[in-house]
Amino acid sequence: ESADGPERVDLLADVTVGVALEERVALILALEELGERERTVVLGTFAAGLTQAEIGARLGVSQSHVSKLLAKALGKLGRRVAYG
């Protein structure tokens, strides 16, 4: 664990718990293709259990901006995982 919290590998493992191996690999690869802020929002939401307001405070942006980043990131992930 780093000074900022859990390591990215630990968070990726948390996000992929209960997912079949092939899908897990696709999801991890898709997460790595996201921009840093998008990845931070996805991992903060689903792996760290942070609220959008908490993520926004850490990134220095509003909760509504976090919501937009999350929607954009989930769209990218869905397309990437669905189409490989």
High-pLDDT (> 70) share of the chain, %: 76
Tokens describing residue 39? 């990845």
Contact between 30 and 19 under an 8 Å Cβ cutoff? The reply is: no
Convert the pLDDT of each residue in 54-74 to its tens digit.
Answer: 999 999 999 999 999 999 999
Is the pLDDT confidence value at 17 over 80? no
Confirm whether 19 is domain-assigned: yes
Q: Which amino acid is residue 5, in one-letter code?
A: G
Contacts of 1 (CB under 8 A, 6+ apart): 7, 10
Residue 3 falls inside a structural domain: no
Please tell me the predicted confidence (pLDDT) of residue 2. Answer: 45
Name the band, by pLDDT with cuts 50, 70 and 90, for residue 12: low
Q: Which residue has the tokens 């998008």?
A: 38
How far, in Å, CA of 78 to CA of 84, rounded? 10
Going by C-alpha positions, the residue among 65, 64, 72 that lies closest to residue 39 is 72
Show the domain range for 61: 8-83
Our count of domains for the chain comes to 1
pLDDT (0 to 100) of residue 10: 64
Residue 44: per-residue pLDDT: 96
